[in-house]
Structures are given as C-alpha cells and as structure tokens.
A and B are shown apart, each in its own frame.
Chain A
C-alpha cells in the first residue's frame, strides 16, 4: 500500500480534530465558531484533494490538454465557502445577541444562572 498517497487524508483528519477539539473543549463562543471554521476548512481540503488527478490541470477547457482535475468537488466547495461565511456571520450575530442577554460569551457562565433559576 502506498502510504504516502494517504498523507493528504491524514492532514485533513489532524485539522478536523483540531477544530473538533476547539469546539468541545473551549467555553468561549467566538473560539467555538473559529473551531467550527477550522473543521469546515478541513472538509474543504478533503474534497479538493480528492478532486486532484495526477498530471491533471485546472478544469478549464483548452486545446491540447487531455487530463483535467475533477471539476465537481470544486463547484461544491466554491459555493460551500460562500455559504460558510454567511452562516458564520449568522453564528457571530447570535453570539452578539447572547452577550446582550447574558453579559458574557463563555458557555459555562451562561449555563450557571439558568440552573440557579430552575
């Protein structure tokens, strides 16, 4: 088995796990959003690295070129990036509102007063 050929997946997994770790271990909501974004970028890299064909070139038709990389993942990820920034903005908007309501953006401090009241 060509172990080096799997290197790209491992980088993706390491990045993904870093994002995952940030999301579950940090209480700060902005940090959580950044973690989700790292996770997201790792998925993008995963798709793009799968679309690469050895010896291929960018998928723009031209005379005399036979091998192109796979254009389909490019399309999916291209739109996903823009959708991602829009949803990130929505998440950050929620964070701002949460700070309005609770005066903090740490998840633990948000949960505590609710438990006291219940």
Chain B
C-alpha cells in the first residue's frame, strides 16, 4: 500500500492515478479482513474499488486527464510532511501495542456490547446491533450526511444540462446522442461484456438483497447493500448506456428513494416514541423486546439501504449526464 501511495504522488497521468487508487482501496479491504473487520471490508471493496473509481474517471472525462507540472514548492511541502510525520511517530510511542486486549479502547462500553447485545438485541452480528440500535442516532446523522451530499451533487450539477437545452425533449435527444457516442460505441459492441453483465446483473441485485436482510446474522447491512445495489446499476449503465439505465429507474423514483429511506429511518424513531419508548428505542415496537429490536433494525437498515442506493445511482447519473 505504501508503494502504491508513493506511486500516486509521482504519477501525473490522472487516468492511471484513478486505476491505482482502485487497487489501493482493494488492498485496504484485504487489510480489514485480516484485522477481523469483515463488515468494513465489504463496504470498502464495493465503494473504493468500484464506485469512487468510476466517479474519478467520470470527473476526468469531464475535465482533463493530464496533470500540469507541479509548482516549485515540493521541498517546503516535503519538510512540513516530514516534521508532522516525525511528531506523530513520536506520539505513537505511548500507544498500546497492536492487538493488546488491555488497550483503553477495549475497556469502556465495548464489553457491554459484546456481552449483553445477544440478550438485549438478539442479533448475532454485533456490528449491526451497535450500528442500528445502540448508536442509532449516529447512524441517522450519517444517513443524513449522505442524503445531503447527494442533494448537493444534484444542486451543483443536476441543472447543468438544463443550461444547454432547457426543454425536456431536447434533453432526451442529447442523451440519445451522447449515448450513441460514448458508452454504446465503446463497450456495447463487445458481446462478452454484454452477456456476462446480463448474467451478473440479477445475481448482483440478489446478492445486494441478501446482504441487506442477512445483515443481522452475517456481515452485511444497509450501507453495504446500498452500494452493491448502486454498483449493479452503474455496471448496467456503463455497458448498455446511461439512457437505457435511466429508464429502468425514473428520476422521480430515484429522488423519492433518496428521501424516503431517511424518512423511514426517522419515522421508525417516532413510532418508538408514540408507543411509549424513547426515540429510536425499538424494544417497544413489538410484544417481546428482542422482536421489537429485530423489527426496528430491519426497517431502519432498509431505510439506510434505500437512501444509500439512491444516492449512489443519482450521483453516478448526474456525473454521466454531463456535457463536456
């Protein structure tokens, strides 16, 4: 990873930078598996190696893929970096050793999560129970950030096409023209890609649903399912053209999904309030507390998945719908 990072500094061809960054993310995902963080590795593999690489490539297509020669402040920057790094390394001398069970991070609330989540939540995957139940507020906030970012991308770039041709019919024609130029001519004639992606699409979507609803028991959950679902559509759009992919999920549905997921999450919290508990306390949702927890976690994970998938698809379509 360090080697790839160093190459990233040197490379001036931004296209290779994007590709290398994908590999960098995949390595990071492998590292997370080694360190027992299966849920995290899942997300990193889907996001880093898939979606963010596509996004960087889309930006390059819209701007330029060659970096100008760096200005002459490299030495100063290097000095700042070396000093900061040395200070940080000095700081690590007081840190607990890798894998030390007595480290302070393992002392506070975590033993309680590990010992009692089976009885309190009844969900084997502790990551899911912490994410959705114990720290439900944080997750709600994070979903809101994703919602805001996607809305921001829409606000920044969503209207940009409108400046060229305001009328809807014009937009459709532009899309058709652009698709004819870019994706169809590059990838569509390749029969292997078409057949394989057609075979893979339902499997990826099925896998996303499995990850979504099996997140209580194995690694998985709304965030992972959302990005996998989103990347299935991105694959489809890359090979069959953005215009075709747009028709599969109309814009209204995409935008409604973005908001509806967040709303579902927040409303589950309100439902808990109405039924006599605290906000985002699912135990009151059913007769048995663990049943309530199950129901609540399933609902909010579904909300998370909807928002994340809609956000990924919207961001991709906005980027792919740009004129150069």
* A residues neighboring B (CB under 8 Å): 1-2, 5-11, 13-22, 24-28, 30-31, 33-35, 37-38, 41, 44-45, 48-62, 67-90, 92-97, 99-100, 105-106, 108-109
> Do the beta carbons of B68 and A27 come within 8 Å of each other?
yes
B105-A51 in contact (CB<8A): yes
Kindly provide the distance from the CB of B100 to the nearest chain A CB, expressed in whole angstroms. 7
B256 in contact (CB, < 8 A): no
| CB < 8 Å neighbour of A51 from B37, B60, B223 | B37
Shortest CB distance A78–B (Å)? 5
Q: How far is the CB of A71 from chain B (nearest CB, A)?
A: 4
Is the pair B14, A28 in contact by a Cβ cutoff of 8 Å? yes
Q: Are A94 and B156 in contact (CB under 8 A)?
A: yes
Question: Looking at the complex, which one of A37, A51, A68, A84 makes contact with B21 (CB distance below 8 Å)?
Answer: A37
**Contact bitstring B117-159, A, C-beta under 8 A = 1, else 0:** 1100000111100110001001100100110011011001100
B284 at interface (Cβ–Cβ under 8 A)?
A: no
User: Do residues A21 and B77 form an inter-chain contact, with CB atoms below 8 A?
Assistant: yes
CB contact between B2 and one of A9, A11, A94 (< 8 Å): that residue: A11
The listed residue with most A CB atoms (<10 A of its CB), out of B82, B92, B117, B149, is B149
Contacting pair A15 B59 (CB below 8 A): no
> What's the A-B contact tally at a CB cutoff of 8 Å?
282
Do A71 and B110 touch (CB < 8 A)? yes
CB pair A78–B131 under 8 Å, yes or no, is yes
- Mostly, the A contact residues are helix
Residue of B2, B67, B93, B315 near A26 (CB, 8 A) is: B67
Contact B99 A54 (CB under 8 A): yes
B: interface residue count bin: 35 or more
Contacts of B227 in A (CB 8 A): 82, 85
CB neighbours of B9 from chain A (8 A): 18, 21-22
- The docked-state distance in angstroms from the alpha carbon of A14 to that of B71 is 23
**A85 contacts B51, CB within 8 Å?**
yes
Taking a contact as CB atoms under 8 Å apart, the answer to whether B101 and A67 are in contact is yes
Contact B98 A52 (CB under 8 A): yes
Chain B residues positioned under 8 Å from A86 (CB to CB): 145-146, 149-150, 311, 315
From B60, B80, B130, B146, A82 is in contact (CB under 8 Å) with: B146
Q: Is B5 a contact partner of A38 (Cβ separation < 8 A)?
A: yes
Does any Cβ of A come within 8 Å of B167's Cβ? no
Can you name the residue of chain A whose Cβ is closest to the Cβ of B218?
Answer: A60
Q: Are B59 and A34 in contact (CB under 8 A)?
A: no
The reply to whether A72 and B21 contact each other, CB–CB distance below 8 Å, is no
Instruction: Report the nearest A residue to B146, measured CB to CB.
Output: A86
Known: A61-B118, A86-B150. 9 other contacts (CB 8 A): A2-B97, A13-B88, A13-B89, A16-B88, A34-B21, A41-B28, A52-B35, A90-B152, A96-B62
For A2, the chain B residues whose CB sits under 8 A away are 97
B32 close to chain A: CB less than 8 A: yes
Beyond A21-B78, A71-B130, is A81–B149 a contact (Cβ under 8 Å)? no
B187 interface residue per 8 A CB criterion: no
Complex partner residue of B56 from A6, A13, A34, CB under 8 angstroms: A34
CB distance from B34 to the nearest CB of A (A): 9
A59–B36 contact, CB under 8 A?
Answer: yes
Is A45 touching B31 in the complex (CB atoms < 8 A)? yes
Cβ contact within 8 Å between A75 and B127: yes
- Nearest to A23 among chain B residues (CB) is B77
A54 touches B32 (CB 8 A): no
